[in-house]
Homo-oligomer: A and B are copies of this chain.
Amino acid sequence: MRKIDVCPTPELLHLYHLENKIVVVVDVFRATSCMVTAFAHGVEKIIPVAQIEECRSLQQQGYLAAAERNAAKVDGFDLDNSPFSYMKPALAGRTLAMTTTNGTLAITKSKVAHRVVVGSFLNCGTVTGYLRNQPFDVLVVCAGWKGKYNLEDTLFAGAVVCNLKNDFAIEDDSALAALMIYDAAKFNMLKFIAHSSHVRRLARLNLTRDIEFCLRENLYDTLPVLENGALVEGLK
Residues 7-51 of A, flagged 1 when their CB comes within 8 A of B and 0 if not, give 011011001000000000000000000000000000000000000
Give A185's nearest chain B residue, CB to CB: B180
Q: Name 12 A/B residue pairs within 8 A (Cβ), A-sorted.
A: A8-B8, A9-B12, A11-B11, A148-B174, A151-B173, A151-B176, A151-B177, A154-B177, A170-B195, A173-B197, A173-B198, A184-B184
Number of A residues, CB within 8 Å of B: 27
In the complex, which of the residues B147, B181, B197 contacts A12, with contact meaning CB atoms closer than 8 Å?
A: B147
Interface residues of A (CB under 8 A from B): 8-9, 11-12, 15, 145-151, 154, 170, 172-174, 176-177, 180-181, 184-185, 195-198
Q: A177–B173 contact, CB under 8 A?
A: no
Q: A176–B148 contact, CB under 8 A?
A: no
Q: Which one of A15, A149, A195 has the highest number of Cβ atoms from chain B below 10 Å of its Cβ?
A: A149
Instruction: Give the 6 A-B CB pairs with smallest separation, nearest first.
Output: A151-B173, A149-B174, A150-B173, A15-B147, A173-B197, A172-B197
In the complex, which of the residues B15, B149, B184 contacts A148, with contact meaning CB atoms closer than 8 Å?
A: B15
Chain A contact residues: over half helix, strand or loop, or mixed?
helix
- Docked Cα-Cα span, A180 to B182, in Å, equals 10
- Docked Cα-Cα span, A150 to B171, in Å, equals 12
Given contacts A12-B9, A147-B15, contact A177 B170 (CB under 8 A): no
Give A170's nearest chain B residue, CB to CB: B195
Give A145's nearest chain B residue, CB to CB: B173
Least CB distance, A220 to chain B, in whole angstroms: 26
Known: A15-B146, A180-B184. 13 other contacts (CB 8 A): A8-B149, A9-B12, A11-B11, A12-B12, A15-B147, A15-B148, A148-B173, A151-B173, A173-B196, A176-B195, A176-B196, A177-B181, A180-B181
